Chain A
Amino acid sequence: MLCIHSMYSGINISQTDARPMYLQILEQIRARVAAGDWPAGKELPSIRALAAALNVSVITIKRAYLDLENEGVIVTRHGKGSFVADVNGLAGELREAQLDEHLAEAAEIGRQLGLTEEDLAARLRRVHRNLDKK
């Protein structure tokens, strides 16, 4: 079976996904950095090269790279390109950021259901205890 090893072919954008395209790219790059597949110092493909490879507009890639830079995941050196940031504990930071996102979603649903802060905390404790039991 033919296995294609490529820097871009794993990155995939679904237009039926509710999340915006730039966000999908951003998350997939973040995941690769967190997993170590894209190690610190690795050069990212140029914006235009990635755009052409993924069949996505340049502006979408630009936005993803901009947000990644604001998050500290990548560093852009003017005229030289973009590189995976060399920051210690980055993987941990990313995971924590992910946790915060999930918690925010949960809080939102709680609010829609009309739960108070205590209700929400109680539910979280219950789930946490169940995890320990497994």
Chain B
Amino acid sequence: MDNKHIEMRGVRKNFQFFTLDNLSLDLEAGEVMGFVGPNGAGKSTTLRLAMGMIAPDAGEIRLMGHAIPAAQAAAKRDVGYVSADMRLLPQATFGWHMEFAKSIYPEWDGGYAATLVKRFNLRPEQSARSLSLGERVKAVLLLALARRPRLLILDEPTTGLDPVARHEVISEFMDVLRDDDRSILFSSHNTVDVERISDRITFIDRGRIVECSNKEDFLDRWRRIHVQLPAGASLPELPNIVGRVVDGQFVTLTTDRYSEGLRTLIGPYVREVQRMNLEEIFVANVMHCREVRGS
């Protein structure tokens, strides 16, 4: 039985200056997916499409098994959505919002909410207007977390958070994963966090999904190969090289499909083979895609 929390097939959305095209994305139960891409790539749009806040021009979307946007009210019962630029109602206090959430969601866990209030250093009497950026993000996260929803959709959830708060927040996310029926889809510029907690990573650039893989495989495939070519020597034809920087004798190759075979091909000129962290892969990937696209 298919237990996908999010299913998007061939989704297209046209805006005046930008088009999201042929988007297909799947999120399984029990999974954490990191959604990464440059600004303006379409991350927020994709998340809003998943929530039914925007309707696609083509394609199909299912959220928790419900067709979106038709059955969005039913689907959203089980989904917690948090976006960094979401704001609470300015004319009410944070405490009011907690009571409001409690009255809407029967799964609201008052004890957990109280724990989070302390852990996140928030005060219920605070008016929504007076919250700082970090407090606002934590407040909105709390309202989503305390309901224990099966799916969390998070758009830049660590914006404005100091390192301690970030650590607290990430710990709460990971706690969600103790239950293999709950999942998280989050977009973030914080590649360190994405690299750490994602099971799968999806790259988006200029409205298209560029890559979607299992994180460990992904990190395994990319390498920087530092090569030193003495005078007169040259490199053979090498497959899967997506980046090449030449500085005199020193050549730095970037590959997205590393293998021992590749290393052997380069032969004795290899000085060092380095793994790349997600941020480096991200930049290399985007540069490569843009080159290929010719833009």
Chain A residues proximal to chain B, CB less than 8 Å = 13, 15, 18, 20-22, 48-49, 51-52, 55-60, 63, 112
Min C-beta distance of A29 to chain B, whole Å: 17
Cross-chain contact A59 with B216 (CB below 8 angstroms): yes
Q: A15-B195, A15-B196 are in contact. Are A55 and B171 (CB under 8 A)?
A: yes
Please give, as numbers and ranges, the residues of chain A lying within 8 Å of B9 by CB-CB distance. none
Cross-chain contact A57 with B178 (CB below 8 angstroms): no
Min C-beta distance of A112 to chain B, whole Å: 7
Partner of A55, one of B174, B219, B274: B174
B151 contacts A by Cβ under 8 Å: no
Number of A-B contacts (CB under 8 A): 53
Cross-chain contact A55 with B178 (CB below 8 angstroms): no
B170 contacts A by Cβ under 8 Å: yes
B82 contacts A by Cβ under 8 Å: no
Sample of 21 A–B contacts (CB below 8 Å)? A13-B196, A15-B196, A15-B277, A18-B274, A18-B275, A20-B219, A48-B177, A48-B179, A51-B174, A51-B177, A52-B178, A55-B167, A55-B174, A56-B197, A57-B32, A57-B199, A58-B32, A58-B177, A59-B200, A59-B215, A112-B271
In this complex, how many residues of chain B approach chain A with their Cβ under 8 Å: the count is 28
Cross-chain contact B216 with A60 (CB below 8 angstroms): yes
Cross-chain contact A58 with B199 (CB below 8 angstroms): yes
Give the residue among A18, A56, A59, A112 with the most B Cβ atoms within 10 A.
Answer: A59
In the complex, A56 Cα to B192 Cα: how many Å?
Answer: 11
Cross-chain contact B177 with A52 (CB below 8 angstroms): yes
Please give, as numbers and ranges, the residues of chain B lying within 8 Å of A59 by CB-CB distance. 199-200, 214-216
In the complex, A18 Cα to B271 Cα: how many Å?
Answer: 16
Cross-chain contact A49 with B178 (CB below 8 angstroms): yes
- Closest partner residue, chain B, to A64 (CB atom): B216
In the complex, A55 Cα to B277 Cα: how many Å?
Answer: 17
Please give, as numbers and ranges, the residues of chain A lying within 8 Å of B180 by CB-CB distance. 48
B30 contacts A by Cβ under 8 Å: yes
Please give, as numbers and ranges, the residues of chain A lying within 8 Å of B30 by CB-CB distance. 58
Cross-chain contact B178 with A48 (CB below 8 angstroms): yes
> Which chain B residues in 256-288 approach chain A with CB under 8 Å?
271, 274-275, 277
Q: A15-B196, A18-B275 are in contact. Are A52 and B214 (CB under 8 A)?
A: no
In the complex, A101 Cα to B125 Cα: how many Å?
Answer: 59
Min C-beta distance of A116 to chain B, whole Å: 14
In the complex, A55 Cα to B178 Cα: how many Å?
Answer: 11
In the complex, A49 Cα to B274 Cα: how many Å?
Answer: 31
Please give, as numbers and ranges, the residues of chain A lying within 8 Å of B219 by CB-CB distance. 20
B187 contacts A by Cβ under 8 Å: no
Give a binary string over B105-127; 1 marks a CB under 8 Å from any A CB, 0 the rest.
Answer: 00000000000000000000000
In the complex, A56 Cα to B167 Cα: how many Å?
Answer: 12
- Closest partner residue, chain A, to B219 (CB atom): A20
In the complex, A12 Cα to B23 Cα: how many Å?
Answer: 37
- Using A13-B196, A56-B174, A63-B216 as known contacts, list a sample of 4 further A-B pairs with CB atoms less than 8 Å apart, ordered by residue number in A: A48-B177, A55-B197, A57-B196, A57-B199
In the complex, A52 Cα to B170 Cα: how many Å?
Answer: 10
Cross-chain contact A21 with B196 (CB below 8 angstroms): yes
- Closest partner residue, chain B, to A60 (CB atom): B216
Give the residue among A20, A51, A57, A60 with the most B Cβ atoms within 10 A.
Answer: A57
Min C-beta distance of A80 to chain B, whole Å: 16
B83 contacts A by Cβ under 8 Å: no
Min C-beta distance of B290 to chain A, whole Å: 27
Please give, as numbers and ranges, the residues of chain B lying within 8 Å of A57 by CB-CB distance. 32, 196-199, 215
Cross-chain contact B275 with A20 (CB below 8 angstroms): yes
Please give, as numbers and ranges, the residues of chain A lying within 8 Å of B199 by CB-CB distance. 57-59
